[in-house]
């Protein structure tokens, strides 16, 4: 299929400049991004590439990185992981505090902020130099030594991180954070600060379309079973209180970030990454979601 033709047809149909969404404004690095940016890159499991627009421009991947932290923690910790974090959709905003109180500090899933903080705590416990070891893991998965944190963004995240500080304190009060909260928060803010282009994102996440194997190096990143489960969690929890909507309209496992990026996986076929910085009210890329809805409709291919 000529995906590039499909991309351009959908792009012109969407009229991105009339998008009513709003760019994230809680830190200057996100607030100052040109809202009209739009990129898409699809990588097939045979390493064929299809791209359109600003697909080579790096942006802040934000919460998309939570999936990579989950993959590494799951690989190291195995099924014990699920004692500390659930696998249920939360139906709440990404940074919500409400459920934690009655769930006694066990976050509903690893892709909301509360769950990602517990995952970060697990990684901090596992490594001598967590930030270093984690970025090395990301570089290995993406087969790209240039992927890095952005210290400016990590610093801004820290300055604006009141809710994340509230979340981690509440979880710690229930005993589900083992390390110093400042160390775990620092790791989390760095995780959010990783920058990639659509091209890099779609290459990085391709192993989840290839049953856990990195297609560039043939290295097993995680087992077939774990890869299936990570995809299941993305399907159910990747878009917070809009996960049902994404499943309903797009029909692929995926993950969004407040930088306007979305990755979606078609197992055994491809990984697609879209970037459009204006967000809808739920904090997901407005055009990114619409684009993927039209894409799976036009190509008549989803996992269902």
Contact 233, 100 (CB under 8 A): no
* Residue 237 backbone phi and psi in degrees, to 5: -130, 0
Task: Identify which of 111, 38, 105 has the alpha carbon closest to the alpha carbon of residue 73.
Answer: 111
Looking at the Cβ atoms of 94 and 295, the one nearer to ligand GLN is 94
When asked if residue 257 is in the footprint of ligand GLN (CB under 6 A), the reply is yes
Q: Taking CB under 6 A as the rule, which mask of x and - marks residues 54-73 in contact with ligand GLN?
A: --------xx----------
When asked if residue 95 is in the footprint of ligand GLN (CB under 6 A), the reply is yes
Question: From the CB of 281, what's the least distance to ligand GLN, in Å?
Answer: 13
When asked if residue 285 is in the footprint of ligand GLN (CB under 6 A), the reply is no
> Which residue in the set 168, 192, 233, 234 belongs to the binding site for ligand GLN (CB under 6 A)?
192
Looking at the Cβ atoms of 161 and 215, the one nearer to ligand GLN is 161
Looking at the Cβ atoms of 62 and 247, the one nearer to ligand GLN is 62
> Which residue in the set 39, 53, 283, 288 belongs to the binding site for ligand GLN (CB under 6 A)?
283
- Angstrom distance (rounded) from CA 209 to CA 199: 15
Question: From the CB of 236, what's the least distance to ligand GLN, in Å?
Answer: 16
Question: From the CB of 56, what's the least distance to ligand GLN, in Å?
Answer: 22
The per-residue DSSP string of 33-64 comes to S-TT--EEEEEETT--EEEEESTTS-EE-GGG
- Angstrom distance (rounded) from CA 274 to CA 259: 11
* Token pair for 15: 């009229």
Contact 70, 100 (CB under 8 A): no
- Angstrom distance (rounded) from CA 280 to CA 164: 21
Question: From the CB of 94, what's the least distance to ligand GLN, in Å?
Answer: 4
- Angstrom distance (rounded) from CA 229 to CA 108: 15
Question: From the CB of 154, what's the least distance to ligand GLN, in Å?
Answer: 10
Looking at the Cβ atoms of 234 and 294, the one nearer to ligand GLN is 234
- Angstrom distance (rounded) from CA 2 to CA 258: 30
Task: Identify which of 218, 212, 203 has the alpha carbon closest to the alpha carbon of residue 267.
Answer: 212
Question: From the CB of 64, what's the least distance to ligand GLN, in Å?
Answer: 7
Binding stretches for ligand GLN (CB under 6 A): 62-63, 94-95, 113, 157, 164, 192, 257-258, 283
């Amino acid at each position: 299929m000529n995906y590039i033709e499909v991309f351009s047809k959908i792009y012109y149909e969407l009229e991105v400049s009339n998008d009513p969404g709003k760019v994230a404004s809680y830190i200057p690095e996100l607030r100052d991004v040109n809202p009209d940016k739009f990129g898409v890159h699809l990588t097939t499991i045979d390493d064929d590439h299809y791209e359109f627009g600003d697909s080579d421009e790096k942006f802040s991947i934000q919460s998309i990185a939570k999936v990579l932290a989950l993959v590494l923690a799951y690989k190291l910790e195995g099924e014990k992981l699920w004692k500390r974090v659930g696998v249920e959709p939360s139906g709440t905003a990404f940074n919500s505090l409400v459920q934690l109180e009655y769930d006694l500090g066990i976050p509903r899933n690893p892709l909301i902020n509360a769950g990602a903080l517990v995952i970060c705590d697990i990684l901090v416990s596992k490594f001598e130099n967590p930030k270093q070891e984690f970025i090395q893991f990301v570089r290995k998965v993406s087969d790209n030594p240039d992927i890095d944190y952005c210290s400016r963004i990590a610093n801004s995240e820290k300055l604006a991180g009141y809710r994340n500080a509230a979340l981690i304190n509440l979880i710690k009060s229930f005993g589900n954070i083992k390390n110093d909260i400042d160390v775990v928060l620092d790791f989390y803010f760095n995780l959010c600060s990783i920058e990639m282009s659509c091209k890099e994102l779609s290459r990085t996440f391709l192993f989840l379309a290839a049953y856990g194997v990195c297609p560039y190096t043939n290295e097993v990143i995680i087992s077939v079973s774990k890869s299936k489960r990570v995809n299941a969690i993305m399907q159910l929890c990747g878009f917070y209180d809009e996960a049902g909507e994404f499943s309903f309209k797009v029909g692929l496992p995926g993950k969004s970030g407040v930088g306007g990026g979305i990755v979606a996986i078609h197992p055994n076929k491809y990984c697609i990454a879209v970037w459009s910085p204006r967000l809808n009210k739920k904090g997901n890329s407005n055009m990114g979601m619409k684009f993927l809805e039209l894409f799976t409709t036009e190509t008549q291919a989803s996992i269902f």
